[in-house]
Amino acid sequence: MFNKIKISFLVACSLALANDLQAQDLHFSQFFNSPLTTNPANTGFIPDADYRLGANYRNQWSSIMAAPYKTMSIFGDAQLFREQLENGWLGIGGVLLTDKAGSGSLTSTKIYGSLAYHQMLGLSSLVSAGFNIGWANKRIDQTNLKFPDQFDGKFFDNTLPTSVVIANNNVSYLDVQAGMNYAYFPQENVYINAGYSIQHVNRPKETFFSDNAADARVPMRHIGFLNAILKVNDRVIINPNAYFTTQAKATDLMFGMNANYNLSEFGEKQLVAGLYYRLGDAIAPMVGLELSNVKFTFSYDATMSNLNKFNGYRGGAEFSIIKKGFYPQNTDRQSLCPSFARF
C-alpha cells in the first residue's frame, strides 16, 4: 500500500513540474518583508524611514526533493521630493528575484523598476498608487526532466520516449504590475494599512511549448493585504497581518501576527516574534532581532496538509534582512506609525 502511495506521489510531483513549465509565481511567507513584490505602491511607502534595503531567501521542500525550490530577492526603495511636493512624495525602487526549482533546474530571473506617488489626505491618512515594469526570464534543462508517460511501472526513465515536446527552453518577456495603498493613522499609537495590486497586467506570453499551446499567457494575479501596527505600551508593539492572492484557479490566504519587544530605552534593540498560518497548508512561526534599524527575521513553514506524511512537517525555511534609514537632513522626522523612538 505504501509503495502505491509513494508512486502516486511521485507521479503527482511530475505532473506539477510539467505544469510549472508554463507558469510559476515567486512568493515569500514573510510577504510583509517583501514589500515591492507584494504591491508596487509600497515603493517609497516607508512610514518610519526615508529609504530601505532588503534581501529575502527561501528554501522549500528540501526534505522531499533532491533539488528543492530556492528563491532569493534583493530590493531597495526610497522617498524623493518630500520637501518639494506639498503633502506628498515620490517613491522609487527596484527588485531582483531569482528562483531555481526541481531536477530540471527551472530557473527564473526577474528585474523590476518601481515608481509610486504618495499623497497625504489631511493629517491622518495617506493614499498611494504605483506600478513597476520589468524583464523576466525562465529557462529549463530538459535533459534532466522526467514526465508521467516515462514511468515504466517501477521508475521514471527519461530515456523512454515522451509525448511532451519542449519547443524553447529559454523564454523572456516584459512584465507589468500596478497597485494602490491606503493608510490611516488617527493617533500616534494606531496605524492601519490596506492595499490591492494586480501582477502581470499585460498578460505576457510565457511557455516552453509551441505558440499554439492552449494558454501561453500568464494569468493576472490579484493580491490584497491588510495590516495594523498598534503600540500596546512602551515595551510592546503588535503587528497583525493578512494576505490573500488568487491566480487562475489557485488561491492563497495567510494571516497572523508578530510583535516587537523593546529591549532598550528608545528601541535601538528589539526582539521580534510571531506566528502565521497559511490556510489549509502550513503554520509559520517567526523570530527575529532588530538592531539600530537593521532587522533580521527567520521563519519556518511547518506543513499541516496531507503532505506532512511525506515530509514530516518540514516545509520551507525563510530568512529576511531589512535596513532602514533617514537622509542626513531628516534625522528628526517623525514616524507616521507607532514607534519606540521619542522625538
pLDDT digits (tens, 9 = 90+) for 136-190: 999 987 777 777 777 777 777 676 777 777 778 889 999 999 999 999 999 999 9
Over residues 34-62, the pLDDT tens digits come to 999 999 999 999 998 999 999 999 987 65
Sequence spans of domains, the chain: 2-330
Residue 227 has pLDDT above 90, yes or no: yes
| Residues counted in the chain | 343
Residue 104 has pLDDT above 80, yes or no: no
What is the mean pLDDT of the segment spanning 91-112?
A: 88
Could you tell me the CATH superfamily of domain 2-330?
monomeric porin ompg (2.40.160.40)
The SS3 of residue 235 is coil
| Entry pTM | 0.85
The reported pLDDT for the residue numbered 24 is 46
